[in-house]
Amino acid sequence: MRGQKQPKHCVFCHPLERVVYEDDDFIAFHDIKPDAQLHLLVIPRKHYGTIKELRAGDMPMIKRMYEIGQQLLEEREFVEDTARFGFHRPPFNSIHHLHMHCLGLPFKSRAERMFPKNGSLWFMPAENLITTMSGQSN
């Protein structure tokens, strides 16, 4: 599913409401079920499956997604300890289109368990993914 044409069943591949950012390669929009005060998703326009399908050559894409997420949260005054970025690990992702969660804290209810700062079996912080992918390219 890496960079394939847009499947008809992928809700992220079709025009979206709630868009806060878009360019030729990426779109960012509000999560339909926010788990934090601000909950944005950054996705590539090209369809990619999950983080398991990424290769070292995808590093620029991941870095750009992270930069976009940081910029969007900073513009809304969420920085450092009030911002979190990351990806759900399969099979814990609900949509099979690569997407990065950009969370402006505080969390709603008990959502913090879903997005632990240091990562978990089900969540990989964006910084950790970039570090892991950097090791693949050596």
CA distance 31 to 103: 10
Which one of the listed residues 39, 88, 99, 101 is annotated catalytic?
Answer: 101
Q: Is 9 exposed, middle or buried (0-12, 13-18, 19+ CB in 10 A)?
A: exposed
Q: In sequence order, what are the residues at sequence separation of 6 or more whose Cβ sits closer than 8 angstroms to the Cβ of residue 62?
A: 54, 100, 126, 129, 130, 133
Any catalytic annotation for residue 99? no
Handedness of CA 65, 85, 124, 87 (dihedral sign): negative
Active site residue ranges: 101
